[in-house]
């Protein structure tokens, strides 16, 4: 986390009004911080990868009192996204933001909240149709007693958690959080569910199970090693075709980050305007509409969203302070887009008019998938 980012613990404010004010400021600062990282971050490739996992473990930063918890979630993702999926999943289930989003704190046997249990089974592990309502209830029992300690770390209270035997997916055991995650990770359908959800965001399309059989097989055989997932996708026909033709339709946040990077200005207005533009484009930044996460692919292309994509990007070059602090290359080259644009011939001089033509051209909305060649 950058040294100039101020962490605001809004729970320490005295009045409701002060808490609301603190939360509003923290949410704005958090959005700007992550948009900066996606645009100019030192580890930009790893940030883009983390952004995919953030869409998979989707939480709405507005829904909890400390919006900066989502940055803690991102840091946890970055710490484990080259490790094992089981460890990545554990890092998310012990993240205060995700638990707050699902109202999972201090749930007990007598006051059982099944939100987290249901999403754990449906979205993060075995997938829809592969569990029963009894599995949800018993999983919720295992997830009881989660709370924040004095150091703002998630722990499972021995006093509050359920200690009895439960049966989950056909196995009876005195499960705890560790053994539960381990058991769910072993299920054959978990590998397919994770691969499919990751692939949807990677390629920007709703991929079919038959097209990822090889990736699923290798991922499962590796005991869900994430490096294997990435290496296997690099050989997949869907990925190589998308890479060859640059056919991934960009979500709004990727589009805005790409545009800011093209202009080359580091002025704060880039990110303030960028966040506002994303709202107009239909992607209220860091506030996905539900636990399933953001849309991907053609679902972003409604008539109103296409209009606001163009209008939102124009807001960036219309700002005088952004334009005056730009560091744009003198020439707009053909490599900036995956296929020839309709409204401008490249290469062209990087004038304001030409930049406007480029960023409002259909070709600007597409790119290759993220590069999976990591260190």
Range of the domain at 198: 188-245
Cα torsion 107, 112, 113, 114 to 10°: value is: 130
Q: Which of 71, 101, 131 lies at the terminal end of a domain, its last residue?
A: 101
Residue 313 lies in a domain: yes
Q: Could you read off the pLDDT of 48-98 as tens digits, one per residue?
A: 999 999 999 999 999 988 999 999 999 999 999 999 999 999 999 999 999
| Residues 149-157: contacts with CB under 8 Å, at least 24 apart | 152/9, 152/96, 153/94, 154/94, 154/95, 154/96, 154/99
Name 295's Cβ contacts closer than 8 Å, sequence gap at least 6: 251
CA–CA dist 206, 249 (Å, integer): 12
Q: Residue 130 domain-assigned?
A: no
**Same domain assignment for residues 363 and 256:** yes
| Residue 321, in any domain of the structure | yes
pLDDT at 120 over 60: yes
pLDDT tens profile 150-173: 888 899 988 889 999 999 999 999
The CA-based angle 159-163-166, given to 5 degrees, is 150
Q: What percent of the chain has pLDDT over 90?
A: 88
Does 118 fall in a domain?
no
218 and 266 both lie in a single domain? no
Q: Would 39 be classed as within a structural domain?
A: yes
Q: Is the same domain home to 268 and 314?
A: yes
Determine, yes or no, domain membership for 51: yes
Q: Does residue 269 sit in the same domain as residue 347?
A: yes
Q: What is the pLDDT of residues 227-262, one digit of tens each?
A: 999 999 999 999 999 999 999 999 999 999 999 999
Mean pLDDT of 207-222: 97
Residue 65 falls inside a structural domain? yes
The enclosing H or E element of 156 equals: strand 154-156
Alpha carbon 48 to its chain's center:
9
pLDDT at 3 > cutoff 50: no
Q: Tokens 């507005």 belong to which residue?
A: 62
Q: How many CB atoms lie within 10 A of CB 258?
A: 18
Residue 141 has pLDDT above 90, yes or no: yes
DSSP classification of residue 275: H
CA distances from 286 to 81, 258, 294 (A): 19, 17, 10
**Tens of pLDDT along 324-375?**
999 999 999 999 999 999 999 999 999 999 999 999 999 999 999 999 998 7
**352 within domain boundaries:** yes
Pairing mode, strands 366-367 and 248-249 = antiparallel
- The mean pLDDT of 122-140, rounded to a whole number, is 98
Domains in the chain, number: 3
Tokens of 259: 């545009």
pLDDT class of 301 with cuts at 50, 70, 90: confident
Last residue of a domain, one of 101, 132, 148: 101
């Amino acid at each position: 986390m950058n040294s100039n980012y101020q962490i605001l613990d809004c729970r320490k404010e005295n009045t409701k009004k002060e808490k609301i004010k603190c939360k509003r400021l923290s949410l704005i600062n958090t959005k700007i911080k992550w948009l900066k990282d996606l645009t100019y971050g030192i580890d930009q490739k790893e940030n883009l990868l983390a952004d995919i996992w953030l869409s998979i473990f989707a939480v709405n930063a507005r829904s909890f009192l400390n919006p900066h918890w989502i940055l803690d979630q991102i840091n946890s993702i970055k710490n484990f996204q080259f490790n094992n999926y089981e460890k990545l999943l554990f890092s998310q289930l012990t993240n205060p933001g995700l638990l707050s989003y699902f109202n999972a704190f201090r749930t007990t046997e007598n006051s059982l909240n099944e939100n987290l249990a249901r999403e754990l089974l449906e979205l993060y592990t075995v997938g829809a149709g592969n569990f029963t309502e009894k599995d949800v209830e018993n999983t919720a029992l295992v997830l009881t007693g989660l709370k924040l300690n004095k150091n703002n770390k998630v722990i499972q209270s021995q006093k509050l958690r359920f200690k009895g035997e439960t049966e989950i997916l056909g196995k009876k055991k005195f499960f705890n959080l560790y053994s539960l995650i381990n058991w769910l990770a072993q299920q054959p359908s978990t590998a397919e569910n994770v691969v499919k959800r990751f692939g949807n965001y990677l390629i920007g399309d709703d991929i079919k199970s038959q097209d990822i059989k090889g990736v699923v097989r290798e991922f499962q055989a590796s005991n869900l090693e994430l490096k294997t997932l990435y290496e296997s996708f690099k050989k997949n026909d869907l990925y190589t075709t998308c890479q060859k033709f640059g056919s991934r339709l960009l979500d709004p946040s990727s589009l805005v980050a790409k545009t800011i990077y093209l202009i080359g200005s580091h002025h704060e207005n880039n990110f303030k305007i960028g966040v506002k533009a994303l709202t107009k484009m239909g992607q209220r930044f860091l506030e996905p509409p539900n636990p399933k996460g953001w849309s991907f692919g053609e679902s972003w292309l409604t008539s109103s969203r296409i209009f606001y994509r163009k209008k939102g990007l124009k807001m960036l070059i219309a700002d005088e302070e952004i334009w005056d602090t730009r560091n744009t290359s003198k020439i707009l080259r053909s490599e900036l887009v995956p296929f020839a644009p309709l409204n401008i011939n490249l290469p062209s001089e990087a004038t304001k008019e030409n930049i406007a033509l480029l960023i409002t051209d259909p070709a600007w909305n597409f790119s290759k998938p993220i590069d999976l060649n990591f260190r």
